[in-house]
Amino acid sequence: MKRRMTRRWIAAAILTASTLGVTVEAGPSPARMATAATALLKSLTPEQRQQATFSFDGDERTHWHFVPTEVFARHGLTLKQMNPSQQALARELLKAGLSQRGYMTATQVMELESVLATLEAAQAAAAQPPQGNRFVRDPERYFFSIFGTPSTRNTWGWRVEGHHLSLHFTVVNGTLVAGAPTFLGSNPAEVRDGPKRGTRVLGLEEDAARSLLESLDASQRATAVINTTTPNDIVTVASVKIEPLSPVGIPAAALTVSQRALLKQLVDVYAGYMADDIAADRLARIEKSGWDKVAFAWAGRVERGQKHYYRVQGPTFLIEYDNTQNDANHIHSVWRDFNGDFGEDLLREHVHDTPHCD
């Protein structure tokens, strides 16, 4: 009885968050992005603009990772290099691509850098002999990059990236938009001390998956749990081009009606990061390819607080999530589109008709 009530509470929380994720905003996201990006660029000095802008056709557009910048060199203009009014314009660009919940989640990921700085400073001071911090943890060390010329008619793109955050948007012919890869991480997964104690930035990502896992009977769970140990990280890491992973786990076709609803709620947690039209396009692609072909797989322990991993894979997309580092208190999560990362499918289908501008 208690488990059923807990599951209902989690499902209600997911539904509430999903509703926030698809709040209707004024105008289509490509137009909002073009307006916001143009305003940001106009506010920059020539030196700042040179740092922030790149050719659309260059390799930089697919240069990405989620590790600290000391490990993976990034290019672009950071929030720290902007004045307050420029920072506000940069955040408007971020809002143009994301839902209300997506924007809140992305900014909370950035803010966790302050928590991590405090934790690592304490660990370094307690070490014998005392050590210096290896990484710079700064919530303003996130890079904004614009590829090509923002336009409501042509093809261009933009990216926001730093530790544990990598958001990519490609606008094709000014009207079509792709929003993958989408990476969000959280370290710590749960803040256990200090003024932010209890914060779980990616709590819904875990709770939604557990809600589905706990709904499975013994036979279904035996199919869904593919390994009792976890990979060390998401399997696809930060590959530019990925292929579908092995088709394991339990397919939606083997779920009950209520379990399928939980699977859809889990997917919506990730789709709902995006602005409403981008989220709707993600879900429409799944509908077209068929929900029956979408499978859920879990690896690791099923108890809370233990290392675990899951993925949701369909013909068109992949969601990966792991919480394996730092004694299962460090999350990585990603949405990938097999043919649509970095707008690949849209570019192939449409860009030959209308040239883009750099």
- Contact between 144 and 42 (Cβ < 8 Å): no
Please name which of 206, 352, 177, 199 lies closest in space to residue 269, comparing C-alpha atoms: 206
Closest CA to 201 of 106, 120, 300: 106
pLDDT in single tens digits along all 358 residues of the chain: 545 544 554 555 555 444 433 333 446 899 999 999 999 999 999 999 999 999 999 999 999 999 999 999 999 999 999 999 999 999 999 999 999 999 999 999 999 999 999 999 888 888 888 787 789 999 999 999 999 999 999 999 999 999 999 999 999 999 889 999 999 999 999 999 999 999 999 999 999 999 999 999 999 999 999 999 999 999 999 999 999 999 999 999 999 999 999 999 999 999 999 999 999 999 999 999 999 999 999 999 999 999 999 999 999 999 999 999 999 999 999 999 999 999 999 999 885 544 444 4
- Closest listed residue to residue 165, CA positions, set 340, 341, 333: 333
Q: What is the pTM of this model?
A: 0.91
Q: Distances from the Cα of 158 to the Cαs of 232, 286, 319, 339, 350, in angstroms?
A: 30, 25, 22, 19, 18
How many CB atoms are closer than 10 A to CB 263?
23
Distance separating alpha carbons of residues 171 and 179, to the nearest angstrom: 9
Q: Is 76 left (phi over 0), alpha (psi -120 to 50) or beta?
A: left
Q: Residue 144 is which amino acid?
A: F
Asked if 148 contacts 55 with a C-beta cutoff of 8 angstroms, the reply is yes
Instruction: Measure the CA angle with vertex 213, ends 208 and 217; round to 5°.
Output: 145
Phi-psi region of 149 (alpha: psi -120 to 50; beta: other; left: phi over 0): beta
